[in-house]
Amino acid sequence: MSNPSATANIYDEIPYEAHSVAKSHPDRMATVARLFGLKPKRIDRCRVLELGCAMGANLIPMAERHPESTFVGIDYSARQVETGHAAVERLGLTNIDLKHLSILDVGAEVGKFDYIITHGVYSWVDSEVRDKILDIVHEHLEPQGIGYVSFNALPAWHLRGIAREIGFTASSSDTPPTERVARMRQALQFFLAALAPDNSPYARLVKTDFDFVTRQSTNYLYHEYFEKTNQPFYVHEFASHLASHRLQYLGDAVIETMFAANLGQKV
């Protein structure tokens, strides 16, 4: 997360989980782009920017795999960026630069990129930062460049939002973060037990979702469910926001979800 607010430093206290995100890989973006008639830059000789890179766990494997490409990551958490620097140094990588920087402070000096990644940020920051993210994508993408922006999507997140509300009501804002997550899990497990005899379609949906949430890590649950801002969007709302920043919605990173033929003959 890269929102320079009073709560942003919680990422120093509770770092976000370190892992790569296959859906955000430039190879995935380039493939989708080619399917829709674009001619994106070769991924073995490209420039990649990640906004909200945490400790660089998504970019570092890319940098190791593509030594002739350049990778830049920015994040507001000094602790996570320092952790990333240590990993880059141990691996001897010279084609990656992790910067301790707010998204709001990104300027022309970062340069142009063929691919821009923003995973786990857009829905968790206020409108000023969301606007800045899309300004960066517009101003810093090369021609035929591709941006990846993840967000919590409606209508499915209406259901996931129930778990978030339960988490907020099971504790208060001054409860320590790990305790807040523990109380959320206890509350969800209580509802799972109460719903166990109910086999109605709605109950099955709720039980499946609550079961998923209770099995996630503490770090993930705290940042996913207890951030002050967590704004889901319909795809058409996201596309409209892109258009207001002179960008076009290209497609879903999971390309097979876009084709009605995969949803059954009736659909």
List, for residues 135-181, the tens digit of each pLDDT value: 999 999 999 999 999 999 999 999 899 999 999 999 888 899 889 99
Check residue 2 and give its pLDDT: 39
pLDDT tens digits, 58-83:
999 999 999 999 999 999 999 999 99
Q: Return the closest-CA partner of residue 107 out of 65, 139, 146.
A: 139
Check residue 103 and give its pLDDT: 96
Where residue 223 falls among pLDDT bands split at 50, 70, 90? Answer: confident
Q: Give me the chain's average pLDDT, please.
A: 91
- Among residues of the chain, what percentage have pLDDT more than 70? 94
User: What's the CA angle centered on 258, arms 22 and 114, to 5 degrees?
Assistant: 45
pLDDT tens digits, 1-50:
334 443 446 666 666 677 899 999 999 999 999 999 999 999 999 999 99
Higher pLDDT, 264 or 119: 119
Q: How far apart are CA 146 and CA 125, in angstroms?
A: 22
Q: How far apart are CA 147 and CA 116, in angstroms?
A: 5
Check residue 4 and give its pLDDT: 43
Locate 87 and state its tokens. 């990993």
pLDDT tens digits, 182-192:
999 999 999 99
The residues pairing with 5 across neighbouring beta strands, listed in sequence order, are none
Check residue 10 and give its pLDDT: 67
Q: How far apart are CA 76 and CA 154, in angstroms?
A: 28
Count of H helices and E strands in the chain? 10, 5
- Continuous segment of H or E residues that includes residue 127: helix 127-140
Q: Return the closest-CA partner of residue 154 out of 229, 221, 227, 231.
A: 231
Where residue 256 falls among pLDDT bands split at 50, 70, 90? Answer: confident
Check residue 165 and give its pLDDT: 94
The set of residues, in sequence order, having a beta carbon less than 8 Å from that of 183 and lying 6+ positions away, is 167, 170, 171, 175
Distances (CA, A) of 86 to 72, 90, 234: 15, 6, 39
Q: Tokens 């339960």: give the residue.
A: 166
Q: How far apart are CA 53 and CA 38, in angstroms?
A: 26
Check residue 13 and give its pLDDT: 67
Q: How far apart are CA 87 and CA 56, in angstroms?
A: 9
